[in-house]
C-alpha cells in the first residue's frame, strides 16, 4: 500500500553537511536550529499550547539518504561500520521510507517557527510531524539496549590559539555558542571508526557558514586548527 505524506516544514540547522553531525539528538546541546513551518501550519494555530512543552519529537525524512531499494541489513557507524545488523534494530539513516525521529529541546515558539536545540539534523531536512514529548509515557524506567547501552565515549578537544580566537569571534557574529558546538560535536569523534588518522591528516566539516578544520595529534585526541568562512 502507498500512503502520501508531505512536509509541514523544513529545518534550518547549524549542520550543513552530514559529516560531524552527532549520531543522536541531545549529544550536542549547543546544536541549534529552527523548524520553519509552511502553509497552512505557519499561522500560529498549529503551535498553540506548545509553549507549555520543554521538548518535542520531530519526525522527518532523511532526505540525503533516500534509496530506491530497501536495505534489510545495515552497518551502523556506532558498531564500527563492520558489523551488519537488521535495519529495524538500528537507527540507521538508510531505511524503508527514510523516516527519522529525534527528541529536541524546544527553546522558543513563534507562529511560523520553532527554535530548537540538541538537534542531529541536516540543514534542509523536511519535517513530517511534530509531537510534544510526554515524560510519563516517553521515559521508560528499566529500558535497555545492549547494542547502544550508553552515549559514545567523548575524546578531548583542544584548540590552537588562532582557531579559538576565530571561533570566539564568529560565535559573537552569529550570536551562537560556536565554541561549545564545535567541542561537543568533535568530542564525539566523527571520524569513521575504521580509519586510523595520522597527525598530518586534516579533517573538516561545515558548521553554520564556517569551515572547521581539525586533526588528531595522537589517536583519541582532537586539535582544532582553524575556523574560517566556508568557501
Ligand atoms: N535521531 C534520528 C533517528 O534516530 O531517527 C537520527 C539518527 S541518524 C543515526 C543521525 C545521523 O543522520 C546524523 O549523524 C546525520 O549524519 C544524519 N542525518 C541527519 N539529517 C539527515 C538528513 N536530512 N538526510 C540524511 N542524513 C541525515
pLDDT in tens, the chain (231 residues): 999 999 999 999 999 999 999 999 999 999 999 999 999 999 999 999 999 999 999 999 999 999 999 899 998 877 777 889 999 999 999 999 999 999 999 999 999 999 999 999 999 999 999 999 999 999 999 999 998 889 999 999 999 999 999 999 999 999 999 999 999 999 999 988 778 889 999 999 999 999 999 999 998 999 999 999 998
Is residue 94 domain-resident?
A: yes
Task: Using the Cα atoms of residue 92, residue 94, residue 95 and residue 100 in order, give the sign of their dihedral.
Answer: positive
125-144 as b/e: b if 16+ CB within 10 A: bbbbebeebeeeeeeeeeee
**Do residue 130 and residue 190 come from a single domain?**
no
Total domains, the chain: 2
Pocket test residue of 122, 185, 191 for ligand 1, highest count of atoms within 8 A of CB: 122
Q: Which three cell numbers stand for residue 222?
A: 582532537
**Do residue 61 and residue 101 come from a single domain?**
yes
Q: Is 28 in the pocket of ligand 1 (CB under 6 A)?
A: no
**Do residue 88 and residue 193 come from a single domain?**
no
Is residue 145 domain-resident?
A: no
Q: Which atom of ligand 1 is nearest to the CA of 11?
A: 23
How remote is the CA of residue 128 from the centroid of ligand 1, in Å? Answer: 14
3-class SS at 99? strand
Q: Is 130 in the pocket of ligand 1 (CB under 6 A)?
A: no
**Do residue 122 and residue 205 come from a single domain?**
no
Question: What is the pLDDT, as a whole number, of residue 193?
Answer: 79
Domain extent, residue 90, equals: 9-138
Is residue 1 domain-resident?
A: no
Question: What is the pLDDT, as a whole number, of residue 83?
Answer: 86
**Do residue 127 and residue 161 come from a single domain?**
no
d(CA 144, CA 67): 30
Is residue 151 domain-resident?
A: no
Is residue 30 domain-resident?
A: yes
Question: What is the pLDDT, as a whole number, of residue 68?
Answer: 92
Evaluate whether 6 touches 93 at the Cβ level (below 8 Å). Answer: no
Q: What is the pTM of this model?
A: 0.96
Amino acid at each position: 500500500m502507498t500512503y502520501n505524506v508531505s512536509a509541514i516544514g523544513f529545518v534550518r540547522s547549524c549542520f550543513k553537511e552530514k559529516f560531524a553531525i552527532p549520531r543522536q539528538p541531545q549529544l550536542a546541546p549547543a546544536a541549534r536550529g529552527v523548524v520553519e513551518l509552511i502553509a497552512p501550519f505557519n499561522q500560529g494555530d498549529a503551535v498553540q499550547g506548545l509553549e507549555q512543552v520543554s521538548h518535542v519529537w520531530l519526525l522527518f525524512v532523511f532526505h540525503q539518504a533516500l534509496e530506491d531499494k530497501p536495505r534489510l541489513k545495515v552497518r551502523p557507524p556506532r558498531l564500527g561500520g563492520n558489523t551488519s545488523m537488521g535495519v529495524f534494530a538500528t537507527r540507521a539513516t538508510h531505511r524503508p521510507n527514510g523516516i527519522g525521529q529525534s527528541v529536541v529541546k524546544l527553546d522558543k515558539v513563534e507562529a511560523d517557527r520553532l527554535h530548537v536545540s540538541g538537534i542531529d539534523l541536516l540543514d534542509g531536512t523536511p519535517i513530517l510531524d511534530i509531537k510534544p514529548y510526554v515524560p510519563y509515557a516517553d521515559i521508560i524506567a528499566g529500558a535497555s539496549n545492549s547494542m547502544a547501552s550508553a552515549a559514545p565515549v567523548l575524546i578531548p578537544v583542544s584548540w590552537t590559539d588562532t582557531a579559538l580566537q576565530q571561533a570566539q569571534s564568529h560565535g559573537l557574529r552569529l550570536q551562537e555558542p560556536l565554541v561549545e558546538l564545535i567541542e561537543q560535536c568533535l568530542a564525539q569523534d566523527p571520524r569513521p571508526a575504521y580509519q586510523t588518522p595520522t597527525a598530518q591528516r586534516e579533517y573538516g566539516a561545515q558548521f553554520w557558514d564556517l569551515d572547521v578544520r581539525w586533526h588528531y595529534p595522537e589517536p583519541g585526541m582532537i586539535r582544532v586548527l582553524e575556523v574560517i568562512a566556508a568557501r
